[in-house]
Structures are given as C-alpha cells and as structure tokens.
Amino acid sequence: MASTVVTGIGELVTCDGSTPDLLGVRTDAAVVVEDGYAAWLGPASKAPAADHRVDVGGRAVLPGFVDSHAHLVFAGDRGEEFAARMAGARYDGGGIGVSVAATRAASDEELRSLLTARIAEMRAQGTTTVEVKSGYGLTVQDEARALRVASELTDETTFLGAHVVPPEYTGDRAAYVELVTGPMLEAARPHARWVDVFCEPHSAHAFTEDEARAVLTAGRDAGLELRVHGNQLGHGPGVQLAVELGAASVDHCTYLSEADVDALASAADTTVATLLPGVEFSTRSPYPDAAALLRAGVSLALATDCNPGTCYSSSMPFVIALSVREMGLTPGQAVYAATAGSAKSLRRTDIGRIAVGARADLTVLDAPSHVHLSYRAGVPIARALDL
Ligand code: NIG
Ligand code: FE
C-alpha cells in the first residue's frame, strides 16, 4: 500500500505525554503515514523512503482535534433565541422543542446533507473525529433515524433520547422515561455506542437525578457506554451521578462544588470532565476554572457542543482560544485537552496523539506553533491534512 512521508514540520505536537507538559513537542521530525496510520516517526534526516512526500513548509502539525461532544443532526434555526439571550433572556432548554419540530419534519436526505456539511465544516477547521448525538427526534423512529444517519459518518454515536421531555409527554414524564429506556433504546442500540442524558434540576424540560439514573443504567444494561450532560445551569447531581456510574465523561461542568471537584479528581482514570466554553460564551454563563480543575488532578477535555441552541459553533480553535482567555489554561494545556483529553473521554487511544501505531489524523496550522491557535483567535489557520 502507498506510503507518504510528511516533512518540513516546524513543530510536531505529538500529545504523547513524553514531556512534562504532556505535549511531546518535537522539532525537525518527520512522519510516515501508511493506510491512515503513523508507521514511522523520527528525525527528518533519518526518514525512510516513501511513495509520496508532503512538505508542509515549516508549519506546525498537531493531532487532529477530537470534538467529543456535538449535536449535529438537526434542522431549523434558532438565531432569534440567541439574539434574545444576548439581550438578557436566560437559557433553560425550552428552545430544544423548536429544533425537535424542525428535525421531525425534515427528510432523511435533508438531515444527511446537513450533517455531512457540518462535519466538513469541522474538518476544514482541524477536527478529525466527532461524536454525534441524537436528541432532536424524541420518538422511537426519529431517534433511530438520527443515529442511523450519524453512524454513516462517525463511529462515535450517542443516543440522547433523554434530551428533554417532548411536548406530547409533559403531562406524563414517567411514561416518557419508560419509552426512552424501553422501545426507543431498543431501536437506537444498533446504531449507538454511547447513551447520554441531560440531567439538570434547573430546567423543567430536562431530567432529574432519578430519571437520569434510570436512563443510564438501562443504556448500560443494553451494552452502551455512558456520558452525561451535568451541572450546566446550576449546581446539581450530574457530576456525582456520572462518577458513581463510571461514565466516560461528564460534560459542561459549569457549576461545580468542592465535592464535585474532589469526586472528579478521584475518578480521573475513568471519568473525564468535558468543558464546553462555547456554551458559556453563547449563553452568557460564567466560565468554569479549568486551571483549578487541572491543579486538583481532574482529567479534562474540550469540545464544541455544536448545536442550534447553546453553541452554534463547530470550531475547536475557537474553543481552545476561549479556554485560554477565559478558563485559565495555557495554550498547550488547551491543545492537549482538545486532542488527547477528548480522546480519553471517548476511551480511544488510537486518536488524539501522534505516535507509531496510532491513526495519522494530522492537523496542520498556517503558523509555526500551536500557541497561534489562541494567539491568532478567529483566524482560520487550522485544517485537517488530506493525505
Ligand atoms: O448541550 N444542554 C442540553 N443540550 C444542549 C443544548 C441543546 C439545544 O439547546 O438545542 C447542550 O447545551
Ligand atoms: Fe450538549
């Protein structure tokens, strides 16, 4: 099979943990890629012959960003809701119903083409793996359809039937939880790796601790792995529940108590805290202190949460820049969290780092250093390298 040697790399950020800052930066390195995997990595002067050569002209090369939290299967638009929030309205999850109605009304072909375009938009900004959730169908057929379409384009598919209680069940929440944990889960299971729940006592639309526990344990019994939306709108049980059940990730973590931080730190091998600063940006919420979480020993990931409500941005560079400016991470810590950290939250070791035997999902910057991702905020310098 054909091999390609990538040369002219100004700075190779491996994220392999081999240096104290974990970034494993190498200068003067080359990488040989074969069939999508890194087959050799070492000093450019020692690079073996390959069928093709790509010279990146002194640019920085990083592991492709791993966007471990996104809701990309939706139709419709909620720009007016965003504008109202910027004028002072609060987010409570109520707008999700608008996207549910538009998504149910869309054809399979429309959803497929919207999803394809969104994933291409991400790739053009350096993202090479994306997790995609259902959650705007909320019927057995519409949830299964969202996951079927998503699984055509990514391996990381997440069943989020427990996103909100849909309007037709507001009078009987228990019946909706039974639907989610029964027939809906059954229909979703063939197309999903993960199960997720919006556990949030501060929203009448989302799920209580007991409801969330029922959803997660049913999903686990059906063979799915666990993720949780928790502690987004206020203090709540999401983080503790995720740790108790051994979820791979608890996402948002906007409002954390000391006990939550302690729980996350002691579960750092199992449960990653995935921060979504695009949501704080788009909902005018306070940013969590990511630097303090790292100091406490918490495993961190960064993701976009790209969705039509709380953050309609597909940009991992934007998220990296926000985490540096607003959450106290160094530029290097942010890059690590957006690559190796998010890979860990997906329980993947073949992505999020550049190493022999791992996937060669490479992202190149029109810049000499990873620092430029936050230094040159808003400038489109990152793109996935097509080999
Ligand atoms: O992760 N919090 C719940 N779900 C999404 C928002 C979905 C929406 O508003 O459409 C989130 O923020
Ligand atoms: Fe989300």
What pLDDT is attached to residue 1? 82
Task: For residue 320, count CB atoms less than 10 angstroms from its CB and return exposed for 0-12, middle for 13-18, buried for 19 or more.
Answer: buried
Q: Ligand 1 mean position to 182 CA, how many Å?
A: 23
Say which CATH number the domain at 197 has: 3.20.20.140
Task: Considering only the C-alpha atoms of the chain, give the largest distance between any 2 of them, rounded to a whole number of Å.
Answer: 69
Alpha helices in the chain (DSSP H): 79-86, 96-105, 108-123, 140-151, 173-179, 185-188, 209-221, 238-245, 258-266, 277-283, 290-296, 316-327, 331-336, 342-345, 372-375
* Cα(303) to centroid(ligand 1), Å: 13
CATH number, residue 380: 2.30.40.10
Residues 221 and 326 occupy one common structural domain: yes
Atom of ligand 1 nearest to the CA of 309: 9
Beta carbon of 305 within 6 Å of any ligand 1 atom:
yes
Identify whether residues 255 and 168 lie together within a single domain: yes
One digit per residue, pLDDT tens: the chain, 387 residues? 899 999 999 999 999 999 999 999 999 999 999 999 999 999 999 999 999 999 999 999 999 999 999 999 999 999 999 999 999 999 999 999 999 999 999 999 999 999 999 999 999 999 999 999 999 999 999 999 999 999 999 999 999 999 999 999 999 999 999 999 999 999 999 999 999 999 999 999 999 999 999 999 999 999 999 999 999 999 999 999 999 999 999 999 999 999 999 999 999 999 999 999 999 999 999 999 999 999 999 999 999 999 999 999 999 999 999 999 999 999 999 999 999 999 999 999 999 999 999 999 999 999 999 999 999 999 999 999 999
Is residue 194 within 6 Å of ligand 1 at its C-beta? Answer: no
**How confident is the model at residue 283, as a pLDDT?**
98
Distance 307 CA to ligand 1 centre (A): 7
Ligand 1 within 6 A of 198 CB? yes
* Same domain (yes/no): 121, 258: yes
Q: Does the C-beta of 279 come closer than 6 Å to ligand 1? A: yes
Ligand 1, atom 9, residue with closest C-alpha? 309
207 and 80 assigned to the same domain: yes
Token output for 227: 């993720």
CA dist., res. 249 & res. 146, Å (int): 22
Q: What's the gap in Å between 331 CA and the centre of ligand 2? A: 24
Domain residues for the domain of 88 are 65-345
The closest ligand to the CA of 200 turns out to be 1
Tell the residue nearest (CA) to atom 5 of ligand 1.
310
CA-to-CA distance for 359 and 351, rounded, in angstroms? 6
Whether 23 and 113 share a structural domain: no
Residues 130 and 98 in one domain: yes
Instruction: Kindly state whether residues 145 and 244 are assigned to the same domain.
Output: yes
| pLDDT at residue 87, rounded to an integer | 98
pTM: 0.98
54 and 91 part of one domain? no
d(CA 134, CA 227): 13
Ligand nearest the Cα of residue 206 is 1
130 lies in the same domain as 224: yes
Ligand 1 binding pocket mutation candidate from 305, 311, 312, 319 (most atoms within 8 A of CB): 305
Task: Assess whether 24 and 78 both reside in one domain.
Answer: no
Instruction: Give the relative orientation of helices 238-245 and 258-266 as an angle to the nearest 10 degrees.
Output: 20
Distance CA 44, CA 31 (A): 8
Alpha helix ranges (H) inside 19-107: 79-86, 96-105
Q: 276 CA to middle of ligand 2, Å? A: 9
Ligand 1 pocket check: which of 307, 311, 319 to mutate, most ligand atoms within 8 Å of Cβ?
307
pLDDT at 121: 98
- 195 shares a domain with 276: yes
Taking the C-alpha atoms of residue 250 and residue 256, their distance in angstroms, rounded to an integer, is 12
Query: Residue by residue, what is the 3-state secondary structure of 32-52?
Result: EEECCEEEEEEEHHHCCCCCE
Q: Which of 68, 71, 90 to mutate to test the pocket of ligand 1 (most atoms within 8 A of CB)?
A: 71
Contact between residue 387 and residue 1 where contact means Cβ atoms under 8 Å apart? no
Residues 187 and 73 both lie in one domain: yes
Compute the distance between CA of residue 311 and CA of residue 301 in angstroms, rounded to an integer.
17
Q: How many domains does the chain have?
A: 2
The token pair at 130 is: 């994306």
Nearest atom within ligand 1 for CA of residue 74: 10
- Burial (0-12, 13-18, 19+ Cβ within 10 Å), 312: middle
- Give the nearest ligand 1 atom to 95 CA: 9
Question: Could you tell me which residues come within 8 angstroms of residue 46 by beta carbon, excluding any fewer than 6 positions away?
Answer: none
